[in-house]
Amino acid sequence: SREPGRLRLTPAGIEHATLLGTRSATWDQITDIADVAASRAHNPIVLTIPDAKPIVVSNADRYGDAGPAVYW
């Protein structure tokens, strides 16, 4: 990754780790996936989880060797 942190997608769900901590969710907890964040994030993936802050993956196109594929 060219970003500090980790993004892990598994059959069970998602885990996003940054310098500020780690957040995770199962796929059935996620009610929406969008590409617009309240902050000025560049190429974000925003995962909406009811009754919780959204998980925002900023610069999603910079994760992994095929980063743009992660974003798109």
Dihedral sign, Cα of residue 33, residue 35, residue 38, residue 42: positive
Q: 4-48 pLDDT, tens per residue? A: 788 899 999 999 998 889 999 999 999 999 998 887 888 899 999
Q: Whose structure tokens read 């970003």? A: 3
What pLDDT score was predicted for residue 33? Answer: 95
**b/e per residue, 13-42, with b = 16+ CB within 10 A?**
ebebeeeeeebebeeebbeeeeeebeeebe
Give residue 2's pLDDT.
56
CA atoms within 13 A on the CB side of 2: 9
Query: Does residue 1 carry a pLDDT above 60?
Result: no
